[in-house]
Amino acid sequence: MNPDTLAEAILAVVTPIAASLRPDETLDIDAADIPLERPRNRDHGDWASNLAMRLAKKLGTNPRELAQQIADELVGIDGVASAEVAGPGFINIRLDAAAAGVLAKTIVETGDAYGRNDSQQGVSVNVEFVSANPTGPLHIGHTRWAALGDSIVRLLLASGANAVREYYINDAGAQMQRFAASVLAAAKGEPTPEGGYPGEYITTLAGRVLEARPDLLDLPDAEQLQVAEDLAYAYQLEEIKNSLDQFNVPFDVWFSERTLHAKDDSGSSLIDRAVDRLREQGHVFDLDGAVWVRTTDFGDDKDRVIRRSNGEYTYFAADAAYYLDKGDRGFENKIYMLGADHHGYVHRLKAVAGAAGQDPEKNIQVLIGQLVSIRGARLSKRAGNIIEMDDLRAWIGTDALRYALERSPADSPLDLDPELLQKRTNDNPVFYVQYAHARTHNASRNAADSGVDRTEFAPETLSHETESALLGALQEFPRIVAFAAEVREPHRVARYLEELAGLYHRWYDNCRITPLGDDAIESVHRTRLWLNDATGQVLRNGLDLLGVSAPERM
């Protein structure tokens, strides 16, 4: 019996009780509304519900008396071993071993799909993250968003959403001109121009540009700059993509900012059409020769200029056009993941959504990440002024780095300890979880060597207290995934996996899968192998949602 079937059972019990107390009133709840929680103290049972306390006033009765009525009826349901009332009206429910143990077989047979759910079915969401300028290597801040953004999309997909990972390439504007000038100066052996980009990577890019175009310095000055920009941009973007691939972060869409400015056959751009569409919504006005959007209608601190009096568009215009384009591509909901220095963008982007006729509280979500510090980290030798993603990954390892970045809320500052993250001890959270997974595989190998297989399944034999606790945690996984997807918080999966690993280790230390010495193989040994393999499956599925590997040997 899993939480969903238990909730349905409770609903079936409480509906006639409610009808007897209030014949003329409809209860108007379904199974999803039945509150169920895991008691902190396992002596209180497998599940606890405060349903009676929630319904008592509506039904005109005492919460404890209502709880007792529900508990009395629950005891008669197959799979429920006991139901007791505690405090002012809590119902503590204990499942019988057979009903709880069936889950082990279900998980093994469901495999990679266990944990997947339909809580986000029908939701279309575009998740934009990293989006660094293609003028240099990715750094530590991008690394945090890369890990979190990818895992948020994995959670959304696992919960039934139509979700994509999108990278916005900031390849228009003055920064690209400064980038080109920096590369060209390096190609000529000249100092970095004022406001340009320093670092050895610029010299390396210049070398690649000269290798591709030996005639570069023979070209007219304007053409030199354009060739340097085009080639260096392509090389740097290729490096960014490779860094993300190595970090196990695939992007579905690479959206160029230049697309927004490009003119179609009619001579208009996406930005031109975006301004026209916002004007049709009634939120655009003209003042002093400039075009404005009345963003204060949607909580912004001031109205925004979208086109200056000289006819040039502002960054806000590109933001608006990009937001509308996402909607045109079928994404009703948009998630923007921005760095700690981008708080000012929150009201601006929500105002764009409101001006476009959408709900700023529903159709757009802006997540602001806090800073990450790495004890003992050195600045990049290539870039000179940043800590590079590639250096971090090579130093700490992809798995340890991703897991460490994902196990804390995005809005919490992080101080990572590389020495700890490289240890092969239980103090290292990622090692602790991966080791638990590897241990399940080692247990399976040992079982096979001892002749224990899964030809028999007797769930009623899973009666040890550690088995009850382990099964209870395994039941929770689909709900953890659904909730983490809803609130966009991958750290909930990581913390769950650590708890599950601890429960598995305690179970393994108390319950033998293989018989002792020359003892005969019994039903309980074969059934425990199912539970062992089920735990490995859930650990594997959870690590995959975090983009972290699940090694079979360590």
For the chain, first and last CA: distance in Å?
A: 34
How far, rounded to the nearest angstrom, does the alpha carbon of residue 330 sit from its chain's CA centroid? 21
CB 95 within 8 A of CB 120: no
pLDDT in tens, 306-359: 999 999 999 999 999 999 999 999 999 999 999 877 877 888 899 999 998 899
The partner residues of 220 in beta bridges, in order of sequence, read: none
By three-state DSSP, how is residue 101 classified? helix
Pairing of strands 290-293, 304-307: antiparallel
Long-range contacts of 357-360 (CB under 8 A, 24+ apart): 357/281, 358/327, 360/298, 360/299
Per-residue model confidence as pLDDT tens digits over 214-226: 999 999 999 999 9
* Contact (CB, 8 A) for 491 and 404: no
Closest CA to 373 of 405, 344, 403, 400: 405
The counts of H helices and E strands in the chain are 19, 13
Classify residue 20 as exposed, middle or buried by CB count within 10 Å of its CB (0-12, 13-18, 19+): exposed
Are the C-beta atoms of 125 and 460 separated by less than 8 Å?
A: no
Predicted confidence (pLDDT) per residue in 362-419, tens digit? 999 999 988 888 887 776 767 777 889 999 999 999 999 999 999 999 989 889 999 9
**Token duo for residue 443:** 């247990």
Longest CA–CA separation in the chain, Å: 94
pLDDT of residue 339: 85
| Mean pLDDT for the stretch of residues 265-279 | 94
pLDDT of residue 1 exceeding 90: no
**Which residues, 6 or more positions from 492, have their beta carbon under 8 angstroms from its beta carbon?**
480, 483, 484
C-alpha atoms less than 13 angstroms from C-alpha of 154 in its C-beta half-sphere: 25
Q: What is the per-residue pLDDT for 379?
A: 64
CB 279 within 8 A of CB 268: no
**Shortest CA distance to 152 belongs to which of 467, 485, 456?**
485
In this predicted structure, the answer to whether residue 185 has a pLDDT above a threshold of 70 is yes
| pLDDT score of 96 | 87
Q: How far apart are alpha carbons 69 and 515 in whole angstroms?
A: 45
State mean pLDDT over 435-453: 98
pLDDT digits over 230-245, tens only? 999 999 999 999 999 9
What is the predicted pLDDT for the residue at 230?
A: 97
Q: Give the whole-number percent of the chain exceeding pLDDT 70.
A: 99
Q: How far is CA 485 from CA 34, 406, 481, 508, 537, in A?
A: 20, 13, 6, 31, 20
Q: What local confidence, expressed as pLDDT, does residue 287 receive? A: 95
Mean predicted lDDT score pLDDT of the chain: 94
Nearest CA to 548 out of 150, 233, 264 is that of: 150
How far apart are alpha carbons 391 and 377 in whole angstroms? Answer: 9
On whether the CB atoms of residues 31 and 47 are closer than 8 A, the answer is: no
Per residue in 315-340, is it b (16+ CB within 10 Å) or e — as a string? ebbbbbbbbbbbbeeebbbbbbbbbe
Predicted pLDDT of residue 210: 98
3-95 CATH: 3.30.1360.70
What's the rounded Cα separation, in Å, for the pair 190 and 402? 39
% pLDDT > 90, the chain: 84
Model confidence at 38, pLDDT cuts 50, 70, 90, reads confident
**pLDDT at residue 525 in the model:** 98
Q: What six digits make up the tokens of 46? A: 């497998």
Query: In 3-state terms, what secondary structure has residue 551?
Result: coil
Supply the pLDDT for residue 41.
Answer: 78
**Contact by Cβ (8 Å): 468, 510:** no
Question: What's the CA angle centered on 261, arms 260 and 264, to 5 degrees?
Answer: 95
Q: Give the Cα separation of 508 and 539 in Å (integer).
A: 15
pLDDT recorded at residue 381: 66
Residue 195 is predicted with a pLDDT of 93
The pLDDT score that the predictor gives to residue 252 is 97
CATH class in words for 424-545: mainly alpha
- Of 30-39, 173-182, 535-544, least confident by mean pLDDT is 30-39
How many of the other CB atoms lie within 10 Å of CB of 276? 11
What's residue 516's pLDDT?
Answer: 92
Radius of gyration of the chain (CA): 29
Flag whether pLDDT at 512 surpasses 90: yes
Amino acid of residue 96: D
3-state secondary structure 74-88: HCCCCCEEEEEEECC
pLDDT at 46 over 90: no
Q: Tokens representing 452?
A: 């224990």
- Is the pLDDT assigned to residue 433 strictly greater than 90? yes
Stretch 169-181: mean pLDDT:
95
Alpha helices in 189-291 (DSSP H): 200-212, 221-246, 258-261, 270-280
The encoded tokens of residue 319 equal 């933001």
The pLDDT, as a whole number, for residue 97 is: 87
Query: Which DSSP letter does residue 139 get?
Result: B
**Residues 107, 112, 113, CA angle at the centre, nearest 5°?**
75
Using N-to-C axis directions, what is the helix angle for 465-487 and 523-545, rounded to 10°? 20
Dihedral sign, CA of 61, 63, 68, 69? positive
Q: What is the pLDDT of residues 142-161, one digit of tens each?
A: 999 999 999 999 999 999 99
What pLDDT is recorded for position 177? Answer: 96
Ranges for all domains in the chain classified under CATH 3.30.1360.70: 3-95
Q: Give the rounded distance of the alpha carbon of 41 from its chain centre.
A: 30
In the chain, list all ranges with CATH 1.10.730.10: 424-545
Could you give the CA distance from residue 51 to residue 150 in angstroms, rounded to a whole number?
Answer: 37
Amino acid at 551: P
Write b or e for each residue in 501-529: b if 16 or more Cβ atoms lie within 10 A of its Cβ, otherwise e: bbbbbebbeebebbeeeeeeeeebbbbbb
Q: Give yes or no for a contact between 247 and 160, defined as CB atoms under 8 angstroms apart.
A: no
